Amino acid sequence: MPQTSILLPPTRIRHTVAKAAPLTDAQRKERAEHNSLRQADIDNAVEHWKQSTMNTVSELARQFNKKERYFLDLFFQGGAKLIHKHQKVNTHNAFLHAKANELRENGEVPTLIKLHSEEYKAEYDELTLAEREELVTRHTESISDAHRQRPTAKACVQDVCSTFRTIEQLLKGLKVCVGVEAFFCIVRNTPDYHMEPEWYFTSQALMDYMKVAVPIHKGWDLAHVGAKLEAFAIAGCDPINLYRTSKQKADEMKRQIREKITRMLSNITGNSNATMHYIGYEDKIVQRYGVELVGWTYENFVNPSELSTLLPGLKKLLDAINDGTCKFVKLSPLELKARRQDHQKAIDDGSAPASKTRKPRKDRGTKRKKGDVEEDKENVKKDGCVQPVPKKSRVSVNSDSEAEV
């Protein structure tokens, strides 16, 4: 007979790493000196890089007749001006501003020759310190009031374009420094002025990827998607305004109410898995978490899906949740104890239903067979109790594959 060889699995070799021996005092001292010298070399190298960089900045500033800060911003921030210097209000300028307003009120033109005349100069010199401080205060208030005025349509577009360029420079610098890819879109949320949606991608490959990643019927089109985002922003960024029928708006309001109440419960309890219960609210929410929902605008406290579809009532409750009028509050230990006693008294009086609990098994405390455990899993819950499912006929199969019932 031919001999057959049996292939055995390779022997598993365990590699163990021996624990390093503790360092002696001399070794620790030597390592500390080595680390100190290495850190000194690093500091010297960084200082040398700083000096060479500042020398390069000074040379570029002289060559192009620019300030050194201009090239430092280009090197480290991509040219974005993140800091705007606010200078102190000059007293003389505040005085000239007040005189110019007086001339306009009198119907005269405030020319530079008239404002810098000897008459006004002598009046300025005679002002006391308190009067000058009052001029500065009034001038500062007038400037703040002017800044609060609503800009024109052209000013809005210019402000958006300036901000767009700043964000673009920041993202370019961030991509060079730490290596990121990003994109953003700017759309207007008011019809007061016209502006096309503005897109920016840090790379062309990212924009090409969006055509594959986002399943749109007509394909990923920047103009189409931007128009959709603009319409949503002008509508107030509220999905409710996008629905046409009252039924759809009511359903959306109810969905937002449910989600926001659940989110508020998770935030106040610190439990991300917390679920809101409207049936058994006293036991499952108040007694369990020690919190109470206040500011409910309806007379009856029920699941939002069971509320009326009238939009004014739903909007009132949703607004109360958004502005914080309807919210969860924590109960103190004394309040929770009194609440528990009142609830138990109401259960004893029959004015409040008792909490439904699952009945314990008859064979509780005894070891169960595997077949009984699987059979118990098939039980269904009905009216707060467990109803057993009729036992199925067990089928056994013999060696001849004939079923016996």
For 352-377, how does the pLDDT look when each residue is reduced to its tens digit (9 = 90+)? 666 665 666 667 667 766 555 555 55
Give yes or no for residue 211 having a pLDDT over 90: no
Query: What share of the chain in percent tops pLDDT 90?
Result: 19
For tokens 């007040």, name the residue.
98
* Amino acid 246: pLDDT: 86
Name residue, tokens 């500390």: 32
- pLDDT higher than threshold 80 for residue 165: yes
Domain 246-349 CATH assignment equals 3.30.530 = no
Q: What is the pLDDT of residues 38-53, one digit of tens each?
A: 999 998 998 898 889 8
Could you give the 3-state DSSP secondary structure of residue 315? Answer: helix
Going from the C-alpha of 93 to that of each of 86, 144, 145, 229, 340, the distances in angstroms are 15, 16, 17, 46, 70
SS3 (DSSP) at 371: helix
- Name the residue with higher pLDDT: 243 or 82: 243
Supply the pLDDT for residue 100.
86
Top pLDDT among 17 and 235 is at 235
pTM beyond 0.75: the answer is no
**Least reliable range by pLDDT among 3-12, 60-69, 186-195, 309-318:** 3-12
Q: In this model, does residue 218 exceed pLDDT 80?
A: no
Confidence label for 306 from pLDDT (cuts 50, 70 and 90)? very high
The pair of three-digit structure tokens given for residue 356, joined into one six-digit string: 């439904």
Q: What is the pLDDT of residues 314-357, one digit of tens each?
A: 999 999 999 889 999 999 988 888 888 888 888 877 766 666 65
Q: 94-101: long-range contacts at Cβ-Cβ below 8 A with a sequence spacing of 24 or more?
A: 94/132, 94/135, 94/136, 94/138, 94/139, 95/120, 95/124, 95/127, 95/132, 95/135, 96/120, 97/139, 97/142, 98/135, 98/138, 98/139
Predicted confidence band at 8 (pLDDT cuts at 50, 70, 90)? low
- Provide the pLDDT for residue 149: 56
pLDDT, mean of residues 304-313: 90
Q: Over 60: is that where the pLDDT of 402 sits? A: no
Q: Is there a contact between 285 and 330 (Cβ–Cβ < 8 Å)? A: no
CA neighbor of 143 nearest in space, from 174, 180, 105, 101: 101
Bridge pairing between strands 327-330 and 291-294: antiparallel
Confidence of residue 391 (pLDDT cuts 50, 70, 90): very low
- pLDDT at residue 387 in the model: 47
d(C-alpha 92, C-alpha 337), whole Å: 69
